[in-house]
Structure 1
Amino acid sequence: QLIVMKAILEDIKSNKGTSSFHAFRYQVPYFQFKWHYHPEYELTYIVKGKGYRIVGDSYEYFTDGDLVLLGSNLPHTWSGKSNDDIDSDAVVIQFSNEFIAPFLELNESISIKNMLENAIRGISFEADVSIVSKIIDLSTTNGMDRIINLISILDNLSKKQTKSIASNTFHNVVSKKNEMRINKVCLYIQNNFYNKISLKEVAGLVYLTESNFCKFFKKATGKTYSDYLNELRINEACRLLVQSDKSINQISFECGFETLSYFNRVFLNKKGVTPSKYRNSKTI
């Protein structure tokens, strides 16, 4: 039996009220793990915050200035605790296909149309000052100015270089079945990755056999359980290599690796360089 996972469906229609689209400032002590999806497109700018951004089968470290456009029904979450007392801060803009479709019929909107089609896998941008100020202002703008400014933002973004986020092989299947399971598993992994976590342990969380759990997890994330866990650990190691003076040996154990040799092997496989070379290249 094939087990299909899904993220939580977020109801944006009720959130936006009578507005044509939803634009808001989201300020919290930290971004909590919430693996979810919605039919609307979403443009998210991280004003302040750091942690991990999961989009489809992509798992990447993010920090201040992260700017991402997500397509319809693409599961995602930003998750991370700040190292200081400053709140995490984001501007989120969510708009439906029904809202944007009339604009896409215009000849002048061809670049926006192409960009939105590419957003099915999620795309990230290098944020510049002019676009960022428009995005931040949009959360407090009213009336027709909101619509004009959003189209202007999308037009500006459509002319910039982009980077795809989820892989070509990622196929999203919208289903509410097992939505709680994947959230429970991923949250547990995130909170405990620095410890030894056995396959039996995580499978038991969602009452699956180890064999069925492996199928479930691969379908959910596009990765095997061990690869997902190692990727999370290596991303955390990258952060510590750049942001701390801890020894490589100490970092490897803090990130959940039982031996330094295994850590070095996985790091080289994931990043293409040794931990020491990675640290030197990022701190020059």
Structure 2
Amino acid sequence: MKPVLEKVNLKELETVHAFIYSKPTFESPWHFHPEYELTLILKGSGIRYVGDDISDFKEGDLVMLGSNLPHCWKNDQEHTGESKSLVIQWPEKTIGDLPLFNGIKTLMTKSQRGLRLGAEILNRTSNLMYKVLESSGIQRYLRLIELLDHLAEQAEHNFITGASYSYDLSSSTTNRLDTVQTFVKNRYKGKIRLSDVADELNMSEQAFSRFFSKTMNKPFFLFLNEYRVNIASRMILETDLQMAEIAYKCGYDSLPFFYKQFKKLKGYTPLDFRKMYTHTTKH
């Protein structure tokens, strides 16, 4: 699908935009903007798309996104209740060229691949984000510097996109990818053939396969398995359903194939994944 250019609403005297998003669903399309962004999920769950990456998200998910990096959050079909996030956006010019900002500059450069920030810094980071939200004028700017300096001091950052990912921001590309995402969200529980998706875009199977692999740096069926496995992993952790039922609900007719794909993408079998989580929550 093609990302849509989003114009961030910066007030005349503000260089930092901070707000709470609160709606029944995360409804923004696949989009991009020149501003950098920090997003903390406060309520809701589903699939997070950033560049060529597809991952599940839930409350506490915290990411930093670089300038013009395409992204969106989409709820599951089964989602009910509120979707809520705390978002901070700022233009590159907000951070000066003084040597004391070198750490922050390095952090912003890394964020061009998207950064997933760990749970171990969540409390401190969320507190600093709320301070940005609750301030204005020069105080908001100073709070942002404090927040980014805190993030820059962290020893490790987890990249979201692949090292070779590059974006095509043309409208035709973003529209096509948006169509693919919507199609997969609505049809992942059933059998999906390459021709089904290609028909949605009025393309031949060969043309669609080339387009998708070039744009996302992965073949379509790897993307589809990533989507299904991310849905399955959340069902494994949040329900008591048997693995066979989870596999069926996520579009897998073959239980051995489900196990193979799950271990390939998560590094554990579905049963080990559930046991590991159960063991962790008891300590």
Q: Which residues in structure 2 correspond to 1:170-189 (within 5 Å)? A: 170-189=165-184
CA 84–11 in structure 1, closer or farther in 2 if over 3 Å, else same: closer
**1:68, CA displacement in angstroms?**
0.9
- Residue by residue, what CA displacement relative to the aligned partner does 1:207-236 show, whole Å, maximum 9, x if unpaired? 110011111112232221111001111111
Aligned to 2:5: 9
Verify the 8 A CA contact 2:76 2:185 in the aligned structure 1.
Answer: no
Q: Does 1:45 align with 2:40?
A: yes
- Residue by residue, what CA displacement relative to the aligned partner does 1:77-128 show, whole Å, maximum 9, x if unpaired? 111149675411111111111222x2xx112111101111111101121243
Verify the 8 A CA contact 1:11 1:38 in the aligned structure 2.
Answer: yes
Verify the 8 A CA contact 2:47 2:76 in the aligned structure 1.
Answer: no
| Larger displacement relative to structure 2 (39-48 or 134-143) | 134-143
Q: Does 1:120 align with 2:112?
A: yes
Give me the TM-score of the superposition, normalised by structure 1.
0.91
CA 264–232 in structure 1, closer or farther in 2 if over 3 Å, else same: same
Picking from 76, 82, 87, the partner of 1:92 is 87
Q: Which residues in structure 2 correspond to 1:196-235 (within 5 Å)? A: 196-235=191-230
Q: Structure 1: which amino acid aligns with 2:3?
A: A
Quick one: distance in 2 between partners of 1:34 and 1:186? 10
Quick one: distance in 2 between partners of 1:198 and 1:83? 24
Aligned to 1:158: 152
Aligned to 1:60: 55
Picking from 256, 269, 281, the partner of 1:274 is 269
Percent identity over paired residues: 34
For structure 2, the 5+ residue unaligned runs are: none
Aligned to 1:142: 136
Quick one: distance in 1 between partners of 2:63 and 2:38? 6
CA 53–98 in structure 1, closer or farther in 2 if over 3 Å, else same: same
RMSD after superposition: 1.7
Runs of 4+ in 1 over 3 A off after TM superposition: 81-86
Q: Structure 1: which amino acid aligns with 2:276?
A: S
Verify the 8 A CA contact 1:31 1:81 in the aligned structure 2.
Answer: no
Verify the 8 A CA contact 2:168 2:215 in the aligned structure 1.
Answer: no
Give me the TM-score of the superposition, normalised by structure 2.
0.91
Quick one: distance in 1 between partners of 2:204 and 2:78? 37
Quick one: distance in 1 between partners of 2:210 and 2:163? 20
Picking from 188, 192, 207, the partner of 1:193 is 188
- Residue by residue, what CA displacement relative to the aligned partner does 1:180-222 show, whole Å, maximum 9, x if unpaired? 2211111111122111111111111111100111111122322
CA 79–238 in structure 1, closer or farther in 2 if over 3 Å, else same: same
**1:241, CA displacement in angstroms?**
1.0
SS in 2 for 1:179: helix
Quick one: distance in 2 between partners of 1:158 and 1:84? 34
Q: Does 1:169 align with 2:164?
A: yes
Q: Structure 2: which amino acid aligns with 1:144?
A: I
Verify the 8 A CA contact 1:50 1:82 in the aligned structure 2.
Answer: no
Picking from 239, 242, 261, the partner of 2:237 is 242
Verify the 8 A CA contact 1:134 1:149 in the aligned structure 2.
Answer: yes
Quick one: distance in 1 between partners of 2:228 and 2:77? 18
Q: Does 1:260 align with 2:252?
A: no
**1:35, CA displacement in angstroms?**
1.2
Q: Structure 2: which amino acid aligns with 1:110?
A: N
SS in 1 for 2:134: coil
